[in-house]
């Protein structure tokens, strides 16, 4: 069997973009080149890895192959980055995952810093929820991630800071003038909870208050949560970094009980780190400007 790196790159690109044409654009090659790479891969394996019926989706063999393909490509990318690093200049692509509030409230500042200090490193951002990020990291879909409250941070990880959870209400809400809002009073208007992120911490806040967790509405996307609160359907709880996502009708106010979350930049547990992950962390070593708790 002679599976090539080019075939695996084409395969993972089609899976990631759900399209041959989009994969071609991402790889900077023609669509026919992507199709040829997939066809030659399937010929080598003597089975299909992708089904072309009703869009592009993985076959059973494809499901088995994709995590292994990601592991192989992550290793090859790391090898190439190590070779470039020996020349004295960090360069290449590193894939970084983060939750939406971090993507909106923290990453623009980090990207600006990395662009200045690592001009030849292309940081590609993958936005996901709390539950997706560890799986993406360990499967090789991404090289690094900013995790929320990791159980056991890996050696070499970088703590970026903390932010706290706050009450999300309309600016015309009766409690808007309060210095802080007790959870029990906030819940009188009905809690809208986002299952796509931070629900574990919201449950913890209820435990600290001795209040049973009950959501009148449960949605996946933070954008849906913001929209419903803006329409006056209920209230919400979200991290203070979410300030960057708010429409002008909404406000975040201190919540009691107070709960913080820690944000940690790290690599995977099950495989060697991409050298550029170490480069991102090293670029933050003397950066003392992060004061998330004061935002």
Q: What is the pLDDT along the chain (295 residues), one digit of tens a residue?
A: 688 888 998 999 999 889 999 999 988 888 998 999 999 999 999 999 999 887 889 999 999 998 888 888 877 877 777 766 666 667 788 889 999 999 999 999 999 999 998 898 889 899 988 888 988 888 888 889 999 988 877 888 999 988 999 999 999 999 999 999 999 999 999 999 988 778 899 999 999 999 999 999 999 888 899 999 999 999 999 999 999 899 999 999 999 999 999 999 999 887 778 888 888 998 887 664 454 544 4
The architecture that CATH gives domain 1-89 is: Orthogonal Bundle (1.10)
Residue 274: predicted pLDDT:
84
Q: For Cα atoms 11, 13, 16, give the angle at the middle one, nearest 5 degrees.
A: 110
d(CA 100, CA 196): 10
d(CA 137, CA 95): 10
Residue 130: predicted pLDDT:
86
Residue 291: predicted pLDDT:
46
Q: Where are the domains of the chain?
A: 1-89, 167-261
CB distance 103 to 245 below 8 Å? no
The architecture that CATH gives domain 167-261 is: 3-Layer(aba) Sandwich (3.40)
Residue 71: predicted pLDDT:
81
pTM value is 0.73
Closest CA to 233 of 175, 173, 177: 173
Residue 293: predicted pLDDT:
46
Residue 47: predicted pLDDT:
92
């Amino acid at each position: 069997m002679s599976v090539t790196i080019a075939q695996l790159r084409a395969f993972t690109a089609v899976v990631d973009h759900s399209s041959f044409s989009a994969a071609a654009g991402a790889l900077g090659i023609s669509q026919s080149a992507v199709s040829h790479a997939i066809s030659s891969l399937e010929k080598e394996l003597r089975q299909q890895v992708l089904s072309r019926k009703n869009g592009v989706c993985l076959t059973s063999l494809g499901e088995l192959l994709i995590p292994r393909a990601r592991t192989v490509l992550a290793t090859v990318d790391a090898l190439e980055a190590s070779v470039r690093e020996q020349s004295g200049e960090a360069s290449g692509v590193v894939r970084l995952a983060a939750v939406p509030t971090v993507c909106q409230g923290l990453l623009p500042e980090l990207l600006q810093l990395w662009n200045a200090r690592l001009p030849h490193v292309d940081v590609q951002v993958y936005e996901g929820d709390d539950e997706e990020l560890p799986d993406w990291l360990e499967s090789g879909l991404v090289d690094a991630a900013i995790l929320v409250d990791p159980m056991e941070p890996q050696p070499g990880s970088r703590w970026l800071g903390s932010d706290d959870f706050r009450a999300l209400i309309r600016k015309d809400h009766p409690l808007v003038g309060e210095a802080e809002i007790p959870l029990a009073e906030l819940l009188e208007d009905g809690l809208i909870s986002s299952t796509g992120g931070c629900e574990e911490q919201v449950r913890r806040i209820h435990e600290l208050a001795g209040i049973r967790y009950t959501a009148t509405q449960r949605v996946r996307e933070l954008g849906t949560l913001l929209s419903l609160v803006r329409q006056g359907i209920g209230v919400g709880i979200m991290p203070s970094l979410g300030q960057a996502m708010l429409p002008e009708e909404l406000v975040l106010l201190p919540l009691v009980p107070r709960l913080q979350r820690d944000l940690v930049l790290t690599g995977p547990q099950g495989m060697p780190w991409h050298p550029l992950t170490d480069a991102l962390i090293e670029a933050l070593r003397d950066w003392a400007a992060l004061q998330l708790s004061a935002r």
